[in-house]
Amino acid sequence: MDKKTIKDIDIRGKRVLIRVDFNVPLDENQKITDDKRIRAALDTIKYALSQNAKLILMSHLGRPKGEIKPEYSLKPVAARLSELLGCPVKMLNDCIGPEVNEQVMSMKSKDIVLLENLRYHKEETKNDEQFAKELAELGEIFVNDAFGTCHRAHASTEGITHYLESAGGFLVGKEIEFFQKVITAPEKPFIFILGGAKVSDKIPVIENMMNKADAILIGGAMAYTFMKAQGIAVGSSRVENEMIETALKILDKAVSCGVEIVLPVDHVITDNFEKSENVKTTESKDIPDGWMGVDIGPATVSLFSEKIEKSKMIVWNGPVGVFEKDKFSKGTKAIGEVIAQTDTVSVIGGGDTAAAVAKFGLEDKMVHISTGGGASLEYLEGKILPGIAALSDK
């Protein structure tokens, strides 16, 4: 990575302002239901503590849209982080202002404070210059370790870098390392697995992968648009009719680029998604009228598995069925298990794909699971992420 990391800057004894991604899920009692994002920041935090730095942590949580809403407070996060570190984490009542400044300036080495939700201020998402400057005044060094927000030019990710020497944390560094390898020099054979609902969401990433992947395996609801474009019966499956022409162009381009696009050859189908009482597997590619596809079938699992087992690098973005429902989760689970059993370099996109891998207990068996759904997708599209581009060059 040609950007500075936290190890490239002398942070000893300094006030280090770290943008973390503590946007964790909370239940109705304000209890954290998954602390994965907090644990993902621990390496960077512990390293800064080992350098006797004073840590000022900042994050958003939820979408309070510029209003102070107690249900979006980071107080539960401060408590959980304190437990994980085994030392106190002081929760502040705001992220800017005289009181915050006073408390930060009185910090001693190895003290940790967590600022209150950045998005209590509408200026955060607007990348307001004055707001960014006020945040920057709290630190001497800025470290971005919130990959999940790097695709947004917000005050705490991009604006702040205009005032402080800036570096990536260990988490951001790891994300960049894997995605750069995918974009610039993927190991061959390279398989790209694409799922999810909409073709329209994935056009840029398909086009960017066209010259890199040896094969693109397509599952999920987006497969039905490609199937319909080929004249295959899809019943009442979800289709983006306005994308059929685009799907045909992609299929034609794949042929000219020498990239194999692999679509499902059988399906798990139901005649009522909500009740899901009648569920069966087709014997061919075609889906009968009145039925909708909700997962890939066993023959498709075998076909996809064959490709996966021969690969040296895999990127997986999007589940291949409605994995949230157990009846329709077998295809996604099977694909995850095949990837987990191979020696291939597996890079798992964030969001639903990461959630699926977690649901099936396969997290420890993947080489890299991204912490950012939107950020990972934009990286794969070949876009420049503002939060990374803004960091200081080495």
| Segments of the chain scoring below 70 in pLDDT | 1
Each residue's pLDDT tens digit, 332-348: 999 999 999 999 999 99
pLDDT at position 2 is 84
Between the CA atoms of 116, 144, 138 and 153, what dihedral angle is there, to the nearest 10 degrees?
Answer: -80
Q: Return the active site residues.
A: 37, 198, 351, 374
The set of residues, in sequence order, having a beta carbon less than 8 Å from that of 17 and lying 6+ positions away, is 56, 58, 135, 136, 138, 139, 141, 142, 143, 160, 164
pLDDT at position 364 is 92
- Two structure tokens written together for 323: 């994995």
Between the CA atoms of 171, 377, 260 and 232, what dihedral angle is there, to the nearest 10 degrees?
Answer: 140
Give the C-alpha separation, 228 to 230, whole Å: 5
**CA angle (184 as vertex; 179, 188 as ends), nearest 5:** 95
Q: Which domains, ranges and CATH numbers included, belong to the chain?
A: 6-170 (3.40.50.1260), 178-380 (3.40.50.1260)
What does the buried/exposed string (b/e) look like for 40-64 if buried means 16 or more CB atoms within 10 Å of the residue's CB? bbebbbebbbebebbbbbbbbbeeb
pLDDT at position 1 is 58
The mean pLDDT of the chain is 95
- Two structure tokens written together for 191: 């398989």
Give the C-alpha separation, 370 to 147, whole Å: 8
In 3D space, the residue among 276, 372, 377 whose CA is nearest the CA of residue 19 turns out to be: 372
Q: Dihedral sign for Cα 165, 170, 171, 176, please.
A: positive
In 3D space, the residue among 248, 159, 267 whose CA is nearest the CA of residue 203 turns out to be: 248
Give the C-alpha separation, 218 to 135, whole Å: 44
Strand partners, 60: none
In 3D space, the residue among 207, 208, 255 whose CA is nearest the CA of residue 230 turns out to be: 255
pLDDT at position 69 is 95
